[in-house]
Amino acid sequence: MKNHVRELYKCSKCNLAVEIASSCACTEPCMRCCGEKLDPVTVNTVDADHEKHVPHVERQSDSICVKIGSVEHPMTEAHHIVWIELVSGDWCLRKYMHPGEKPAVEFKLCCNKNEKVKVRAFCNIHGLWEREA
């Protein structure tokens, strides 16, 4: 079975981020913003800046608690976590975040409680961060 498309692209000029839900037939990125092709967003797993972005994860029997960074990530209008999500196989749970909130969320799991998941967070400045849990 083909995996679902979960690609992110970002404009290097204006910071627009776009998530692709379905692939096209083009052989290379074809979307444009500010007159340029969008850059693919690569997944980061190691943070040299005091671990402000790598998700910190605590797994409990029926939930997964996530906070972004061992040093709390800023949540200002200019610099914040846009969303935090759990991804596994063909399901995804996503919580959109807002400036002023704590960069943390508890996902309640009603099934798939023991399944390995990817915990991902998207920073509007520093991109996509991921950890397996």
Give contact residues for Fe ion (rule: CB under 5 A). 123, 125-126
Nearest to Fe ion of 71, 125 (CB atom):
125
Residue nearest to Fe ion (CB): 123
Q: How far is the CB of 76 from Fe ion (least distance, A)?
A: 10
**Strand partners for 83:** 96, 122
Q: How far is the CB of 81 from Fe ion (least distance, A)?
A: 7
Nearest to Fe ion of 68, 86 (CB atom):
68
Q: How far is the CB of 40 from Fe ion (least distance, A)?
A: 19
d(CA 133, CA 119): 7
Q: How far is the CB of 9 from Fe ion (least distance, A)?
A: 18
C-alpha distances in angstroms, 128 versus 50, 108, 119?
16, 23, 10
Which 3-state string (H, E, C) describes 28-39? CCCCEECCEECE
Nearest to Fe ion of 47, 88 (CB atom):
47
Nearest to Fe ion of 16, 125 (CB atom):
125
Asked if residue 123 lies in contact with residue 80, where contact means CB atoms within 8 angstroms, the answer is: yes
Contacts 24+ apart (CB under 8 A), 94-100: 99/75, 100/75
